[in-house]
Amino acid sequence: MITSRINLDQQHSVVLHSYHYQNSSLIVNFFLKNHGKVSAIAKGVNTKKSGGNHSVLLQPFQSTIVSLTGKQELLILKNIEATDIHWQLSGKALYCAYYINELLLRLLPSYSDCSDIFILYNKVMTILASGLEYFEAPLRFFELKLLEFLGYGLNLEFDCESDASINRDKNYYYVLYSGASENKPMASQYLVISGQSLLDLAHNQLSNPQSLQQSKQLLKWALAEHLGHQPLKSREIFKQLYS
């Protein structure tokens, strides 16, 4: 089977992950605005001759313009340029950013238009880099929108059995792939969650501590269904440092 050559020129991208390849090269996982997750070899960037300029741009969280060519499985980096976007990340914000990148590495499709998630990624990274401590809510919103983009959106505003609007003053049983119901389900796995938490998550208004905590539990459960059994490294490191 012959695979046609791909040319992707002047693509808006961010670097999700990179690692050494052979003696002087890197393999880089890019997130391209219009093509999703794409892997490429950056040849000769770790040599003295390169001056290290390109290797800096090939580290995670770098906003770049790239040109790539080659076969679909692994492209070759032709050119890379910095944009005027620079995120200075440290402390908890840095580990939250690693968490987002790891989610995208595991779940983002390759060669697919991901412009909505790309725009949201840039917004969340800007929040993380702002120095504000309150970034739990933007993380939850990113998780929710990523699930929706992947086709696994959550039913948050209607009772899955009666179709009645969720009442913020009631508690519900939530079952994945079905939704919330006032009736205790036959399913062995469910989450008890307040109507207020469901509606607050649906409307991206997570200032209430209970809504924030219950939304975190729900989204962690929903994402785990698609991440498989391998734990997220970023989450484990965050627990060790900030437990």
Q: Where does a domain end: 40, 59, 82?
A: 82
11-22 residue pLDDT tens: 999 999 999 888
Looking at residue 1, its pLDDT comes to 43
The radius of gyration of the chain's CA atoms, rounded to the nearest angstrom, is: 20
44 shares a domain with 164: no
**Per the domain annotation, does 1 fall within a domain?**
no
Question: Can you give the CATH number for the domain in which 212 is found?
Answer: 1.20.1440.120
97 shares a domain with 35: no
Looking at residue 172, its pLDDT comes to 98
216 shares a domain with 116: yes
User: Which parts of the chain have pLDDT scores under 50?
Assistant: 1-2, 51
Looking at residue 232, its pLDDT comes to 82
Looking at residue 237, its pLDDT comes to 76
